[in-house]
Chain A
């Protein structure tokens, strides 16, 4: 019997994990072709921050070397961006004209950085923080320049800022709201984090809006013009501006192929696009039940489910994920998961020890742990995340819950 053809667009962590799962259960089912826009094999994007911080090297973060693709008979097109999907002919085409036919198509195009529409965003020295190229650009800039501004005080922005600081730059983080990482931390933990990073030397402009990126004489960015929370217009010197103001699902290809997109490629619980059951989507580009996940754990879970369907043994259903976050800044322990802000119907247990720099918040609903936000002491993060995902009734251990698995 002739093998079916599987084409995967995107060579990132979510997609390759899907292949890995598929190869485990149905090794010979497909002829597989992979298109990757970057010239690298699959690497651990999450570890770009340690690379930027000088704690790891690029070699160390490669997940699947070229030999792995060979070993599994995968046709790999590196540095080729797919620009077209012909769903009638079941064929994809890259910008260099390379084509591949498919019986099943897996779209794993990930996300693209959101670049705020500010004047000067295309100046030299203004970059996003997404891939190895960006990382290298930052490492080079750090060697030559003094001042950096990171726009966005989220997970990625803070990791970039920390890395640049460790490489000797004076870094200012500009953040739109008053709390760092407000999607992962409550205000208390956010303040602790800011204090801790400020103690290390980072500067912060919170509640500040970027007005413009100002050019210098050479055409390279010179400064960032901001409107502070007080309404003042100020300039912060910047030889390097890193845009870390969020990511957007990369749906351009899917949209051009006529697949329904709504803040991501809309997929079902089997990770098939709602438009075309031959086409699957996983990872940051996919929108499952309205959510496009940006963290790795859910993407792996999606890949696992998707693989079972590609293997034609699929009875798995992806029902959404609980997510947990850790900041990869050495010496800062931070963990959050689930609904850590609380709200109506929830109950909150808080513990703080400002002397030890520890803050913990657990959110409980109907005797179940639904959220956790830990700062300074994340030893029990894994346990909480397990309780949270399992939905275990914690009424019996509630009074010792805060003190960890040892105490329970």
Chain B
């Protein structure tokens, strides 16, 4: 078949980059940035660049859910059934639960990765067809504080600016966000803007010294959870210096007097003390922000995922209102959206606290409008359970059925013990998923295969209110279907069971979108002037769109409140829901990795994406580790009041003292025998936004005594990888700690894929367990190199690739021993070094001294596979200014010249690698 191209949108973060999918109608073969898309103008980050690798034949065949499945009993292997059977059984069971316990016994938990049309279908299913108010989205974990913050302060859930304001701003304040990793394309734009504008100021507020913070002119490394105190202190300084925009305050706002009373007590000295920053830095930040011609703030989960998330949002917006830094080019509070379509979910009202068109289910008029629009009189007229509440209700037995779509709560929700209890207690768990092996899948009674990126049609809205088309390039894999269609078919059966006409009858994405569009009429997000054809022919458009697109809101100083005035929100600083204590002395925060996404069900299918920070660790400041007598690499237990997780320790000076940091991605799909990182986090949530405080847990960090280590690695043909992974993963629960990770491929590895299984246990593992691993790796053959001291639990098995044994690298290895004994072999396996060169040292407990130096340097640039050692060697020869040296490096090694995600790291390497002047 001939090659074709289809324009679509990246399914990862909320930047919403346009992509061009290269395909032949049956198979996606490549992806590149859409040069015409105004979010990215052709650029893509590492994750986006590798998107096509999430749709390889192997992934489609082995990692996708391909057919409807049913589990006869929990714990059993699911078996296939037809769509008709699945739909019928699910509809019957939901009807039975609804009849026995009422519609409130059914909860629907969906995702910011669904398309707006899917959201619309789910919303109708929940409220109009089943009649339950309990529909919420994983956006609750992500953006709900931003939603409520905007609504409280500005009157509507609308980011008031555009990405181009990044270029227009003179001062950018990044608070609680690490766009260098989480929104790389915007960060590229920010870097370019700084380069083009001398005197540009970048302020970063973050408890961690992130790559974003490294670029900053001023980094305020605040104590976790003290953002509100900092903003109050900044406002105090602004008022003290007379930097407020009194005319704007008088004309366009309300509530400043009350706020002034509150912040009077927040002197910069006091705020600096509470926040743990220098007072002078606070004054400087206030000056830059208030006196720059245009100041833009960018913020994300650091503000949102907090028990005072709404207050953190409004306290920051207060700064904009007080200084008039809003409604102008380059001046706005800009919430960076986490997910690709959290915005669309908000617009379509697919959340417990929303109705379509930014309506409120508890508001009588909003409710009446929706009831009229949908022609349904029995719409629930109250807010439903939000994410945490829904799972708590299920754990209490109030919710009997959970329908989960496009999200993985058994990984991503806080307080996993409660979430697992909820999933176990539910009578009926329906999981609608594209990927087969998520942690949640194990709890599902029904697994419904959903189409995903590259196979779906619809729309998404990105952070700047821009609606982009998502288009299918290839048909859904296996029997997968579009999410909205799955919903519609079951809804139709439920309606039939209730002897009424179908309430969700739309038969295309466009038809659903038109229903959604109608719900925006007369609302702040009115898109009634926008048509499907316009989206298709003229490209992405920003709402509101009545006569045309809107790039910037509130330019006339009138806001979306009833009286047109923005509100200063006066909220006192509240400490985090739980405090550190002598028993739980560390403030654990969670964050994102540059190259991973959420629970990794999609990004985890691409081995390359594990090259950068690809191993689960907990990061701790080196001084704290010294006090605790903990060493780098040691296994530690991170324990909170709710649960614990065992992880290797990584010392990292970028983590603040008494802080700890774990990437949010690690669930029991990758780290075994435990509930993942969110075993530790808490469900305590912001009273206004109901968003849980994922960014703060008081934890203890304790050494664990699991001295026996086991490493099992194998390169296999790509098609055999999934089976190997499943065999290895099945063994994870049998160890005190285990992880099972794909090995990032290197160019000379051909089509092979590698898997690394590493585990720890208290005593030497049982021979039977070791035998299972030996068999899993194909090491039970006579041709295997072997060192075995059975009584002392040492075992090292090596198998070479076929071919000339003198040049063959290791194909597979298993090593069992205490601590790092024999661990050097993993690097040897990884590096694909000809094993014979090591001669009789090959099976040694330690790397032969002649070797070892060249092994395992971290990958920095994923696009061109450039490692840190290579970069340092090259930089040693580069001379001139840092910028010139970077350019030389890039012209030589090409690193950072494609997606640019590694540019912050490259700059750091330039700064820390001196030129070697020949003696």
Contact = CB atoms under 8 A, between A and B. Distances in A.
Contacts of A25: none
A354 B784 contact: yes
Given A353-B842, A358-B840, A399-B821, A348 B790 contact: yes
Interface stretch (A28-36, A79-87, A198-206, A400-408): A400-408
B863 interface: no
Contacts of A353: 785-786, 840, 842-843
B270 to A, nearest CB: 59
Given A348-B790, A355-B800, A404 B784 contact: no
Contacts of B785: 352-355
A358 B844 CA distance: 14
A355 B805 contact: yes
A400 B844 contact: yes
Contacts of A352: 784-786
B782 A402 contact: no
Nearest to A351: B787
B1 interface: no
A217 to B, nearest CB: 46
A349 interface: yes
A352 B796 CA distance: 10
Contact of A398 (B788, B792, B844): B792
Contact of B794 (A354, A377, A399): A399
Given A355-B783, A355-B836, A399-B821, A350 B844 contact: no
Interface string A366-396: 0000000000010000000000000000000
A103 interface: no
Contact of A347 (B787, B789, B839, B841): B789
A348 B787 CA distance: 11
Interface string B832-862: 0000100111111100000000000000000
Interface string B798-828: 0010000100000000000000010000000
B748 interface: no
A351 B821 contact: no
Q: B782, B787, B836: which has the most chain A beta carbons within 10 Å?
A: B787
Contact of A402 (B783, B800, B821, B843): B843
Given A398-B792, A399-B794, A399-B821, A351 B786 contact: yes
A350 B788 contact: yes
A402 B821 CA distance: 14
A403 B839 CA distance: 11
B791 interface: yes
Contact of B782 (A351, A354, A400): A354
A350 B797 CA distance: 11
For the residues of B in contact with A, the DSSP-based class is mixed
B794 to A, nearest CB: 7
Place the interface of chain A in its size category. Answer: 10 to 19
A350 B845 contact: no
A126 B423 CA distance: 84
Contacts of A351: 786-788, 843
Nearest to A404: B840
A253 B250 CA distance: 131
Nearest to A359: B786
B794 A403 contact: no
B791 A403 contact: no
Contacts of B839: 356
Contacts of A377: 840
A354 to B, nearest CB: 5
A358 B805 CA distance: 14
Nearest to A353: B785
Contacts of B805: 355-356
Contact of A407 (B794, B836, B844): B844
A404 B21 CA distance: 58
A349 B783 contact: no
A349 B836 contact: no
A402 B785 CA distance: 14
Contact of B791 (A347, A400, A407): A347
Given A400-B845, A403-B841, A350 B787 contact: yes
Contacts of B790: 347-348
A403 B844 contact: yes
Contacts of A356: 805, 836, 839-840
A398 B840 contact: no
A285 B784 CA distance: 44
A402 B787 contact: yes
Nearest to A362: B789
A355 B843 CA distance: 13
A349 B786 contact: no
Contacts of A354: 782-785
A400 B839 CA distance: 15
A361 B845 CA distance: 17
A393 to B, nearest CB: 15
B349 to A, nearest CB: 65
Q: A347, A351, A355, A407: which has the most chain B beta carbons within 10 Å?
A: A355
Contacts of B800: 355
B157 to A, nearest CB: 63
Contacts of B842: 353
B816 to A, nearest CB: 13
A337 B326 CA distance: 88
B802 to A, nearest CB: 11
Contacts of B845: 399-400
A357 to B, nearest CB: 10
B843 A349 contact: no
Interface string B761-794: 0000000000000000000001111111111101
A403 B844 CA distance: 7
Contact of A403 (B782, B786, B840): B840
Contacts of B792: 347, 398-399
A347 B794 CA distance: 12
A350 B794 contact: no
Nearest to B841: A403
Contacts of B843: 351, 353, 402-403
B781 to A, nearest CB: 9
A398 B817 CA distance: 13
Nearest to A401: B789
B795 to A, nearest CB: 10
A349 B795 CA distance: 10
Given A355-B836, A402-B843, A403-B840, A349 B784 contact: no
A402 B843 CA distance: 9
Nearest to B781: A354
A126 to B, nearest CB: 38
A368 B174 CA distance: 66
Nearest to A354: B783
Nearest to B796: A351
A407 B847 CA distance: 11
A198 to B, nearest CB: 16
B841 A350 contact: no
A69 B654 CA distance: 86
Nearest to B805: A355
B815 to A, nearest CB: 13
Nearest to B788: A350
A349 B796 CA distance: 11
Nearest to B785: A353
Interface string B243-258: 0000000000000000
A311 B439 CA distance: 85
B783 A398 contact: no
Nearest to B790: A348
Contacts of B788: 349-351
B849 to A, nearest CB: 10
Interface in A103-131: none
5 contacts: A353-B840, A353-B842, A355-B805, A377-B840, A398-B789
Given A353-B840, A404-B840, A407-B841, 16 more contacts: A348-B789, A348-B790, A349-B789, A349-B794, A350-B786, A350-B789, A351-B786, A352-B786, A353-B785, A353-B843, A354-B782, A354-B784, A354-B785, A398-B792, A399-B794, A402-B787
Ordered nearest first, which 10 A-B pairs have the shortest CB separation?
Answer: A347-B791, A355-B805, A349-B789, A351-B787, A353-B785, A352-B786, A350-B788, A399-B845, A403-B844, A354-B783
